[in-house]
Amino acid sequence: MGFKIIEDRPTPPAVYNWRVYLMGCCIACGALTFGYDAAFIGTTITRPGFTAAFGIDNMTASQKTSNSANLTSSFTAACFFGAVFAWPMMEVWGRRPALQVSAAIFNIGAVVMTAASHQLSMIYAGRVLTGLGVGIITAVVPSFLAELSPPPVRGVMTGLFEIAYQIGNLVGFWINYGVTHTIDLHSSKSYRIPIAVQLIPGGMFAIGCLFFKESPMLLIKRGKEAEAIRNLEWLRMLPADHQYIQEELGMIYTRIEEENKVAGGEGKGVKGYFIGCLREMKISSIRHRFILVWGMMFLQNFSGAITINYYSPAIFKAIGLTDVTLWTGIYGVFKATGSIAFYIYGIDRFGRRRPWMLSAASCGLCLIYLGSYIKVGHPGTAKVLSESTKKGGNAATAIIMLYALFWSFGGNGLPWIVSAEIFPVKLRSIAGAWAGCGQWFASFAATQAFPKMLLKMDWGVFIFFAGVCAATVLFTFIWIPETKGIPIESMDILFGGSTRHAQWRQKSVYPPDGVPPLEYSLPHQAETPYGGKKEGDDYLEHSSV
In the predicted model, what is the mean pLDDT of residues 532-542?
A: 38
525 falls in which pLDDT band (50, 70, 90)?
Answer: very low
In the predicted model, what is the mean pLDDT of residues 521-544?
A: 40
Query: Is the confidence at residue 477, as pLDDT, over 90?
Result: yes
CA distance linking residue 405 with residue 362, whole number of Å: 10
Helix (H) or strand (E) holding 70: helix 61-92
Residues 6 or more apart whose Cβ sits within 8 Å of residue 485: 5, 6, 7, 8, 151, 152, 154, 348, 513, 515
The pTM (predicted TM-score) of the whole model is: 0.77
CB-based contact 301:293 (threshold 8 Å): no
CA distance linking residue 309 with residue 407, whole number of Å: 12
- Cβ neighbours around 57 below 10 Å, total: 11
What's the pLDDT score for residue 134? Answer: 94
Picking from 116-120, 362-366, 477-481, which range would have the lowest pLDDT averaged per residue?
116-120
CA distances from 526 to 224, 246, 247, 530 (A): 17, 11, 11, 12
Query: Is the confidence at residue 512, as pLDDT, over 70?
Result: yes
CA distance linking residue 290 with residue 446, whole number of Å: 20
Residues 6 or more apart whose Cβ sits within 8 Å of residue 378: none
Question: What is the average pLDDT score of the chain?
Answer: 83
CA distance linking residue 64 with residue 44, whole number of Å: 14
3-state secondary structure of 49: helix
What's the pLDDT score for residue 104? Answer: 96
In the predicted model, what is the mean pLDDT of residues 480-489?
A: 83
Q: pLDDT > 90: what percent of the chain?
A: 27
What's the pLDDT score for residue 519? Answer: 60
- Summarised one tens digit per residue, pLDDT across range 164-205 is 988 998 898 889 889 988 999 899 999 999 999 999 999 999
What's the pLDDT score for residue 202? Answer: 93
- Kindly state the DSSP code that residue 344 receives in the 8-state scheme: I
Query: Phi and psi for 11 in degrees, rounded to 5?
Result: -120, 120
Phi/psi region, residue 267 (left: phi>0; alpha: psi -120 to 50; beta: rest), is left
Query: Is the confidence at residue 55, as pLDDT, over 80?
Result: yes
Core vs surface per residue 422-445: b (16+ CB within 10 A) or e: bbbbbbbbbbbbbbbbbbbbbbbe
User: In this predicted model, which residue has the larger pLDDT, 322 or 38?
Assistant: 38
What's the pLDDT score for residue 205? Answer: 93
Query: Is the confidence at residue 466, as pLDDT, over 90?
Result: yes
